[in-house]
Structure 1
Amino acid sequence: MKLLKVDSVEETKRKMDHYFEGISLDVEWIDIAQALGRIAAENLYAQREVPEFPRSTVDGYAVMAKDTYGASESLPTFLQLEGNVEMGEAAAQKIVPGKGVYVPTGGMLPNGADAMVMIEYVESLDGDTIAVYKAVAPGEGIMQQGEDIQKGEPVVAKGKKLKPQDIGMLAAAGIFSIKVFKKPRVFVISTGDELVHPKEETKLGQVRDINTYTLSAMALACNAEVVGQVIVRDDFQLLQNTVKHAIEKSDVVVVSGGSSVGKKDVTAKVIDSLGEPGVFIHGVAVKPGKPTIIGRVGDTAVFGLPGHPVSAMIIYKVFVEYILRRLQQLEEAQEVVIYGICDANIHSSPGKETYQMVQLEERDHQWIVKPIYGKSGAISLMTKAHGYIKIRENQEGIHKGEGVEVILL
């Protein structure tokens, strides 16, 4: 078998958008207590105002701001104390000129008050009088009703991955059950006559399986559910049966190994044998990972990744994570990027998008970017790397001293 027409990374993603159009995940309702890391399946709107009453943001005294004008340490303003507001209770007092009420942080603001004086600037002279040593402006130290969130205001957009602060906001806004996308189901298959389980003793020529664990962990990190892991020998019938089973119970099937053009590389044939449209990508202009396979069988995306761990991980990040985000209708992924200065020349492969692993070192208040090299089968290359540089297919490498963007792993 020969590689099909080699596509660029962008062309490959355009084809993925076309071939995977119409594939989507089911949704489910969950309590917000279980919503961390899940993806909102609809826009969410506040069901109540936050805060639901005007409240103090400091520990101190509620006053009419104009009563404090001109107050200073040498010339305080004296106000009559009208009691306290208790936490969790409505403020019964009403502020009028010349009066003040003690209110703890978060307590309800009494009617008539338009500012808070922090307790540090107030002295209690007796049970009925306080001295104010600092002027305050209207609105200082308080939060009005609905100032944080208005009822009906959008609080979470469809496609947002929920963070702890989002869940807190939902609770505050009166939303306790939400609709989220079900987690995409991923099935991981590693192929090769040489592969054995990591717990097994190896014979000369055998290799402990790495990719099953690495790729499964990457799936979990992308909010997916791993529904199967298996090692399969280089046998067409065995692999065909395994992939068929995987397709029946998953949204995405990842096969590592067997994607090249050797006589035992049968992944593409297996995918084509299982249904339409089959393989639509076999070969991508990328280094490492050129012999990448992407296909669709029914409503399942099937990927054939190189067997070498580094190549498999790179292709997974570039393409498998792309479809996982697409399935979950995730907001556009924001890569975490650090800018630095390259401390060596880096060569690229003409006509290929190149991914170069690098380490970062802080020196003289700037980041120095140091390329690290290793064979594509060396898993330690990825563990040593802090990130990678993406060199475009039409870019002639990177020169020492050139500024670069490092995408953190």
Structure 2
Amino acid sequence: MKDTTTGGASRRFDLPLPQPPDFLRIGPLREGTFRSPLHEPRTAVVIGRWLGAAVVLCFLTGLVSHALQDPPGWLRDHLPSRPVNGYRVTQGLHVIAGIAAVPLLGAKLWTVYPKLFEWPPARSLRHLLERLAIAVLVAATLLELFTGLLNTLQWYPWPFPFRQTHFWLGWIITGALLLHVAAKAVTIAEQWWRPRTALPGRRAFLGTVGASVAAVTVTTAGQTVPWLSGADLLAPRRPDLGSQGLPVNRTAAQAGTTTVPADWRLTVDGPAPLRLSLAELLTLRQHTVRLPIACVEGWSASAEWTGVRLRDLLDLARVPSGARLRIVSLEAYGPYAVTTMEPAHARDPLTLLALSVNGRVLNADHGHPARIIAPNRPGVLQTKWVSRIEVLG
């Protein structure tokens, strides 16, 4: 008779599997190969707590970044333009936590890697499924950190799109991590609350791991944390280096915008459409604001921007206050040659069509003749070489 009870299903998962012969137990599969006393649950749980905190912080701040860059329809009209430094903080934390997770993951894997060579390899179907889930967790985390690090260098030696892959890997890691924690909940609880017992070498090992995390954090976080800029030795960017005092991700040469048409005009759609030359834009009331530009690679820098408030241009064109905008660049190719802007950003008094930065007219690499600068907005959406502002409704 077929057993349809939950207990019966559980017993079927615990049925032993056929085991390989003992003569295959060679090399690291032999008993006693791993002799360090630190390959034990308490050390693994301590490192796991630190790594788990870094992963959760990366995941949550990554969701913020994704929502600001590509918001779902239900969220699109509710994206805030404040706090001014919101994206700078969340994306800076995202990259800082991701870099800190690298030595933590290495330490965690070293602590538990003898488990990779357990004998027998799979005692039951349940044990086999648990090991497969761990394999998915480890593989996805390694790929996430590897591609994330290369993204900070703007190097993409793979055929798949980085941003979408990075986003979905985050969900896979989170799901696999929750399954792993559920499977090991009893062990984790026992070791989490267990009174600390002296183990030779544990304190030195944990201290070394902590020092490694501190070192990579201090020497890279300066690309987004101003008071650590003096120790910014390993970060791929120095926010204070670059033309006009700012780094540049995409140059005019890369975008094909080194030469601006002599008859360039900014076009603003609306019930009273505008076509304004640079000279005409300069006759309008100019405003200066101090805003950061923060990029997904983790660097950010503040600057003084001067130009025309975007909302003033929209009012001149009689654009409705709740309208969404499409901003079109002179850039012919590239994923951000056309961007959209929600009303909260479009109508914020700090959002400018900037014409100069740090007291100097924008150069070609920074978006001459005009660019967007807005608070709490990813750098890739601060469109350069603006040619047209369209109303989406």
- State whether TM-score is above 0.5: no
Tell me the TM-score range normalised by the shorter chain. Answer: under 0.3
- TM-score, with length taken from structure 1: 0.26
Higher relative contact order (CA 8 A, sep 6+): 2
Larger radius of gyration: 1
